[in-house]
Amino acid sequence: MRDVKRELKEAVLYAAPFVTWIALQMLLPTTAVGYAIRTGATAVVGLACLLALKAPCRFPWRGVLAGLIGGLAVCALWIAPEYSTWYRTWLELPIGEPPPAPGPSPYEPSVCGWPLTLAKLVGSAFVIAPVEEVFFRSFLYRRLQSADFRTVPLSRFDLSSFLWMIFLFTLEHDRPVVAALAGAAYGLLAIRFGLGSAIVAHVVTNLALGLHVIYWGEWWFW
């Protein structure tokens, strides 16, 4: 017999950190301080949900290695097309508008100071990346297959759910082509090696991209 109350409780625990992130993104201004507040609040909610779930996430060495390689590959895929004006005009949102001239970013140290720039780096890599993986790969992908998502093994490949998961993940990003490819890569890693591998990959992607942004001053990625 299905335990509907438990299903709902676990669904809330899986989704609450991501919902917190999105809600604060809509409510707070696009500033370094706003991002830091969003990062802190999401981290607190995420940690509370993780402790309540009592669901360990394993990181076998093969999955970690695959995640490292996959994360770096996705980062390269994210960066390389940006040097094409055609790509930035027609394959990034808003479609058809030429890329704007680089201007001051709210996350530049000269604008917000190094502590808030580093808060952006930490939030991007170590907070939102794991939160997105838990929501999209561990929860949503399985929930699309069954209302009682807890009974669905993550290793099961379901094409319809996989494509919907990629589509919904893409809607969250302003670079739809590479976001779709990234979502597919993380999804395949989760199915083949487990959620830990997808988390490693996403953390590596965001960390490497953030370090690239800071080192080269290419703030439009953020």
Q: What pLDDT sits at residue 104?
A: 86
127 by Cβ neighbours in 10 Å (0-12 / 13-18 / 19+) ranks as buried
Report the largest interatomic distance among the alpha carbons of the chain, rounded to a whole angstrom. 59
The pLDDT tens digits for 92-119 are 888 888 777 677 899 999 999 999 999 9
Q: Report the pLDDT averaged over residues 2-31.
A: 92
The pTM for the full model equals 0.93
Indicate the average pLDDT of the chain.
93
159 by Cβ neighbours in 10 Å (0-12 / 13-18 / 19+) ranks as exposed
Count other Cβ atoms within 10 Å, centred on residue 107: 23
Q: What pLDDT sits at residue 96?
A: 81
Q: Give the separation between CA 90 and CA 38, rounded to whole angstroms.
A: 31
pLDDT tops 70 at residue 127: yes
Q: What pLDDT sits at residue 110?
A: 94
Q: Give the separation between CA 132 and CA 104, rounded to whole angstroms.
A: 28
Q: Which of 83-92, 119-128, 158-167, 176-185 has the lowest mean pLDDT?
A: 83-92
